[in-house]
Amino acid sequence: MQQADLILTNATIVDGSGADRYVADIAIAGERIAAIGSFPDATAPRLDVSGLVVAPGFIDSHTHDDGYLLAHPDMTPKVSQGITTVVTGNCGVSLAPLDPSIADRIPQPLDLLGPPELFRFSRFADWIAELRATPAAVNVIPLVGHTTLRVATMDDTQRPATEPEIAAMQVMMEEALQAGAFGMSTGTFYPPAAHAPTAEIMAVGAPMRTHGGLYATHLRDETDQIVPAMQEALDIGRELDCLVVLSHHKLAGQANHGRSAETLALIDRAATLQPVCLDCHPYPATSTMLRLDRVRIARRTMITWSKGYPEAKGRDFADLMAELGLDEQALLEKLTPAGAIYFLMDEKDVRRIMAHPSAMVGSDGLPFDPHPHPRQWGTFTNVLRTLVREQSVLTLEEAVHKMTGLAARNYGVAERGLLQPGYYADLVLFDPEQVGDRATFDVPVQASQGIQGVWVNGQRVWADGAAGTARPGQVLVPTRRASATAAASAA
């Protein structure tokens, strides 16, 4: 074994592959795992981790951390729950490329990515360059958002794009892929992209057929019309010859509770023909901009922020209606722009989706919300507490695989997601009997318990219940695949 900088001794290793745990030592040298085995004669510093689990650092498959990485590079909400890599640019919204001159009038939901001063990158490459010049504590897998491209190129997003506008978006897509974007995301659920027809999305994404990439989508509809929306996403994936990632897969509204059996069967059938997977989180509530269509199908709606009436933060929509004597429309107008948490999913659906073999874990947190959904601080530790330890929906090995090896494979990330000699030393150390989330809907900003240490590229970024000063995160480079279909066939 080469000289090591640190040896974690007597570790219970859950390696990210789904294989059974085992006990061994892990030697770290520089950015990499030097060796795994027994090293009684090695002279490197040692940390005895007897009784604790060492796993690959968790990969958050769905975030909106594009601007948070720059504003808060310690990334405490993420490293405190064991996350070492975040996937940004989801739901069609990415921080770049966008002309800084329109930063103070960007439409929702782009504003969920942070304050106007963060929207200062007219090229995707400029944002990537700043992340590399001033790295955060975690690694980044960047996607480029179709909605952002629409806002950047169109004077009116309430219509389909014209051919010149599509051509302009294609140029931006090409530039983003060359700069390192792993693919494209869409969010046709949201107003700025709701009028984009399927053909427009296929055309904008066309450069991926040359450069490779994946397609992540917040579907047009997650309620009654979810099946046609899924079929549209699958059509786009086939046209672009790429992996489809169904974002935060859910069935919204009581009328659709139980339909996860139907949608997961559809995913299974599609997977025999094309690459497809999904991400999800373990909560029965979601969060986004305030919309009446969501208020009306939710059993409860909590306001996370409001520019029109800041006192609404943390309050229930129904209570505000009664208190202020306003109907739904009038209260919406008073609060807007605003964000909300919607309790509109069935826990049985959540568990069924989380247990599906192709499901990755993604927080979908909105980090700048004054009263955020607890998923921003607790998604991964909630899975370990509720679905593994309390409910036995997943084994520890299955849960870690979803959080690590599966995500690394789907996103085409080399030498991460598994504990293997030669792989990057992205590690999380935790107590399997104590690990859990503290963040709640009432008090959401709370660090998890039981996470003893987190290393990113060999440097410790979480220890003794606090974030460190190291900023070793990297903007990861995609392993381009010539053809998603060829890759699926080879597998």
Write down the domain spans for the chain. Answer: 6-56+424-467, 58-288+342-412, 289-341
Asked if residue 17 lies in contact with residue 1, where contact means CB atoms within 8 angstroms, the answer is: no
Task: Look at residue 322 in the predicted model and tell me its pLDDT.
Answer: 97
Which long-range CB contacts under 8 A does 394-400 form with residues at least 24 apart? 394/354, 394/355, 396/14, 396/21, 396/53, 396/432, 397/14, 397/18, 397/19, 397/20, 397/21, 398/18, 399/361, 400/14, 400/16, 400/55, 400/56
Write down the pLDDT at residue 485: 39
Q: Round to whole Å and give the CA distance between 434 and 170.
A: 49
Average pLDDT over residues 171-183: 98
Task: Give the residue-averaged pLDDT of 261-274.
Answer: 98
Could you tell me the two tokens for 166? 């599509």
Pairing of strands 459-463, 22-29: unpaired
pLDDT tens track for 23-57: 999 999 999 999 999 999 999 999 999 999 999 99
For 348-357, write each residue's pLDDT tens digit.
Answer: 999 999 999 9
Q: What fold characterizes domain 289-341?
A: Dna Ligase; domain 1 (3.30.1490)
pLDDT band at 278 (very low <50, low <70, confident <90, very high): very high
Q: Mean pLDDT over all residues of the chain?
A: 96
Query: Residue 491 above 70 pLDDT?
Result: no
SS3 label, residue 446: coil
At residue 487, does pLDDT exceed 50?
A: no
304-340 pLDDT, tens per residue?
Answer: 999 999 999 999 999 999 999 999 999 999 999 999 9
Tens-digit pLDDT profile for residues 389-427? 999 999 999 999 999 999 999 999 999 999 999 999 999
Query: CB atoms < 10 A from the CB of 436, how many?
Result: 22
91: left (phi over 0), alpha (psi -120 to 50) or beta: left
Per-residue pLDDT at 13 exceeds 50: yes
The two three-digit tokens of residue 431, written as one number: 């107590």
DSSP 57: P
Q: Which whole number is the average pLDDT over 471-488?
A: 70
Binned at pLDDT 50, 70 and 90, residue 479 comes out as confident
From CA 286, how far away is CA 301, in angstroms rounded?
A: 10
Mean pLDDT to the nearest integer, 421-448: 98
pLDDT at 1 over 70: no
DSSP bridge partners of 431: none
Which secondary structure element, helix H or strand E, spans residue 401, and what is its range?
helix 396-403
Q: Which CATH superfamily is domain 6-56+424-467 in?
A: Urease, subunit C, domain 1 (2.30.40.10)
> 486 — phi, psi (to 5°)?
-65, -40
Residue 464: predicted pLDDT: 87
Question: Which CATH code is given to the segment(s) 58-288+342-412?
Answer: 3.20.20.140
- Check residue 486 and give its pLDDT: 39
User: If pLDDT is split at 50, 70 and 90, which confidence band does 230 have?
Assistant: very high
Distance CA(39)–CA(251), nearest Å, equals 50
Classify 28 as helix, strand or coil. Answer: strand
* Residue 18 half-sphere exposure toward CB, CA atoms < 13 A: 10
Are 364 and 62 in contact by the 8 Å Cβ rule? The answer is yes
> Any idea which of 23-37, 213-227, 472-486 has the lowest mean pLDDT?
472-486
CA distance 7 to 420: 14
- Please check the confidence at residue 163 and state whether its pLDDT lies above 80: yes
DSSP code of residue 21 = P
Read off the pLDDT of residues 81-130 as tens digits, 9 standing for 90 and up.
999 999 999 999 999 999 999 999 999 999 999 999 999 999 999 999 99
Residue that is written with structure tokens 């994404």 in the block: 205
DSSP-derived pairing of the beta strands 338-343 and 285-289: antiparallel
The string of DSSP codes covering 231-257 is HHHHHHHHHHTS-EEETT----SGGGT
Q: What is the DSSP string of 338-400?
A: EEEEEE---HHHHHHHHHSTTEEE-----TT-SS--THHHHHHHHIIIIIIIIT-SS-HHHHH
Contact call for residues 85 and 60 (beta carbons, < 8 A)? yes
